[in-house]
Amino acid sequence: MSDATDAQNPNQAVTEAEVSEQPVESQESAKNQATTDDPAKKTNETPEEHKRRIRSFVLRTGRMTAGQQRGMDEFWPKWGLTLEQGMIDPKTVFEREAPLVIEIGFGMGHSLFEQANTMRDHDFIGIEVHTPGVGKLLAEAGDAGLTNLRAYEDDAIEILDQCIPDNSVDLLQLFFPDPWHKKRHNKRRIVQAEFVQRVRQKLKVGGRFHMATDWENYAEHMVEVMQVAEGYENTASDGDYVPRPDSRPVTKFEKRGERLGHGVWDIIYRRTG
């Protein structure tokens, strides 16, 4: 899952060890050139703020399989959402009113597809920067005829800020985020005080923020951040963690981890105000 050298996980095509301390913007040039010459123009940030912002991901120019490319070609025009569309109205997007689930960093979309397929009375929006993963998810969802799933191929921070209305989300999922386990890379972890307040703003009061990780140190970090975060309460009745709820499908990476005796920590907080 978050094993940085896991050959089965294309999300880790660039390992954390390969991430240099060079400015992030130079590592992102491929995507930025593909979208706009001045990425800050897409955001409310000044160009300086955009350059300085520490990202939780490193973009890779991974190859697309034929199936992933088909997902983009056939289904992106119908089910893809973009930053440029600005603030969405979920009711208009899905043409109905249903509980809204957002997943940040869905990777290859295994668990998101399974959820959307089995929970047809919920609407799902996935946000992922990794294009092959978006293609894979859309191919599966399109082939299954799902109408309750949409995807963004962009930085979740910008999508949350500019596209997702406040107080609109019932459940926000962050499953196995990049652990950035080296001390000097810890600052890249997506779970930070500012991020969890951004999430809170998007959740309905009573909505839940579900994190899962297989890195104990990241789990402890998540708990530390959440314990002092304003406007949240832990849903755990005993200690910091909850048993995996049925809503989170077990991935094959997790099953393998379980067999090897690795732990997984689920953390669910509820927005209280």
Ligand X SMILES: C[S@@+](CC[C@H](N)C(=O)[O-])C[C@H]1O[C@@H](n2cnc3c(N)ncnc32)[C@H](O)[C@@H]1O
Task: Write out the catalytic residue numbers.
Answer: 178
Pick the stretch among 28-36, 128-136, 143-151, 196-204 that binds ligand X (CB under 6 A). Answer: 128-136
Q: Which residues contact 126 (CB under 8 A, 6 or more apart)?
A: 102, 103, 106, 109, 112, 134, 137, 149, 150, 151, 152
190 is an interface residue for ligand X by CB under 6 A: yes
Pick the stretch among 34-42, 46-54, 102-110, 224-232 that binds ligand X (CB under 6 A). Answer: 102-110
Q: Whose CA is closest to 175, among 110, 99, 85, 98? A: 110
2 is an interface residue for ligand X by CB under 6 A: yes
Measured distance CA(249)–CA(112) in Å, rounded: 8
Identified binder of ligand X from the candidate list 176, 180, 241, 265, rule CB under 6 A: 176
Please provide the DSSP assignment of 87-116 as one string.
Answer: S--HHHHHTS---EEEEE--TT-HHHHHHH
Q: Whose CA is closest to 219, among 240, 245, 197? A: 240
218 is an interface residue for ligand X by CB under 6 A: no
Displacement of CA 93 from its chain's centroid (Å):
19
- Closer to ligand X by CB, 15 or 272: give it: 15
- What SS3 class is residue 211? strand
Q: How far is the CB of 272 from ligand X (least distance, A)?
A: 25
225 is an interface residue for ligand X by CB under 6 A: no
Identified binder of ligand X from the candidate list 11, 131, 148, 213, rule CB under 6 A: 11
Q: How far is the CB of 183 from ligand X (least distance, A)?
A: 19
Instruction: Summarize as ranges the residues that interact with ligand X (CB under 6 A).
Output: 1-2, 11, 56-57, 104-107, 127-130, 133, 155-157, 175-178, 190, 251
